[in-house]
């Protein structure tokens, strides 16, 4: 049975910013989805107090103010620990985790774990590599390379006919990412035919190829010092600032 006919787990973070080594978790969701009907069968959601002010531009996107996070959110250390534990539990069961632009979410979660002195994802997995991960962003960019238009989750939902329940809501984004993964597999049989372990390895290659191409493009445009990190699905930061 193909991976897109089995259970997948969607994962999404809403955060304080766009730099995964510095931004903090604000909300998170992990949603298990039944492959036969693409319906959620189990979910977990979190609201964190990130320990820093949430910039207004970030609040405008996900709707969580600093005041609400401080009043209603749990300490981010506890939230990061629980999210990591939940993802690792699924990986140990062999269930792929779907994250749209996984390199951002998993790198940010990893940074939070390091920031708060918590075991890394790899440590929790007994030293093995993180995964399997399915990233519709990376897959879509590889299998439909020359399609015009944006590659945001909302835009890709439209492309694949997926109804999105609410952009920048972590649970809605996590569910939408899984449904997009299913839809990509339905459209592209070569992707559906790959075992999850092989699909994971292909995405490592596809992401690295994209990063190299994008870096060359930026340098042709005059950004000589551009460095695009091609590691996927997790970029371990060299250093993490203290909270």
- pLDDT band (50, 70, 90) for residue 237: low
Helix axes of 153-160 and 170-187: crossing angle, nearest 10 degrees: 40
132 prior amide bond cis, ω within 30: yes
Residues forming beta bridges with residue 46, ordered by sequence position: 28
* Residue 139: partners with Cβ closer than 8 Å, 6 or more residues away: 181, 184, 191, 199, 203, 206
* Nearest of 136, 131, 41 to residue 95 by alpha carbon: 131
CA distances (Å), 64 to each of 15, 78, 170, in order? 9, 19, 12
CA distances (Å), 159 to each of 85, 111, 180, in order? 33, 32, 9
Q: What is the pTM of this model?
A: 0.94
According to the model, what pLDDT value does residue 149 have? 95
* Least confident segment among 77-86, 142-151, 223-232: 223-232
CATH number for the segment(s) 3-220: 3.30.420.10
241 pLDDT exceeds 80?
Answer: no
**What confidence tens digit (pLDDT) does each residue in 174-215 have?**
999 999 999 999 999 999 999 999 999 999 999 999 999 999
**What confidence tens digit (pLDDT) does each residue in 3-57 have?**
988 999 999 999 999 999 999 999 999 999 998 778 889 999 999 999 999 999 9
Q: Please provide residue 75's backbone torsions phi and psi, each rounded to the nearest 5 degrees.
A: -55, 135
According to the model, what pLDDT value does residue 83 have? 98
- Domain ranges for the chain, please list them: 3-220
């Amino acid at each position: 049975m193909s991976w897109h006919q089995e259970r997948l787990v969607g994962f999404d973070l809403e955060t304080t910013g766009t730099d995964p080594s510095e931004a903090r978790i604000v909300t998170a969701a992990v949603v298990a989805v039944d492959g036969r009907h693409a319906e959620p069968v189990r979910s977990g959601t979190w609201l964190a107090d990130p320990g820093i002010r949430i910039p207004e531009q970030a609040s405008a996107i996900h709707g969580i103010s600093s005041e609400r996070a401080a009043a209603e959110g749990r300490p981010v250390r506890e939230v990061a620990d629980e999210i990591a534990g939940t993802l690792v539990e699924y990986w140990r069961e062999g269930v792929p985790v779907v994250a749209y632009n996984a390199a951002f979410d998993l790198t940010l979660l990893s940074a939070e774990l390091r920031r708060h002195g918590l075991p890394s994802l790899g440590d929790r997995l007994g030293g093995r590599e993180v995964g399997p991960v399915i990233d519709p962003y990376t897959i879509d960019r590889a299998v439909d390379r020359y399609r015009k238009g944006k590659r945001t989750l909302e835009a890709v939902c439209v492309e694949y006919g997926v109804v999105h329940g609410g952009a920048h809501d972590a649970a809605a984004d996590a569910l939408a990412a899984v449904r997009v993964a299913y839809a990509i597999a339905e459209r592209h049989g070569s992707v559906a035919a790959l075992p999850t372990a092989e699909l994971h390895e292909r995405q490592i290659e596809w992401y690295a190829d994209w990063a190299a191409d994008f870096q060359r493009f930026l340098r042709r445009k005059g950004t000589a010092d551009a460095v695009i990190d091609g590691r996927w699905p997790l970029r371990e930061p060299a250093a993490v600032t203290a909270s």
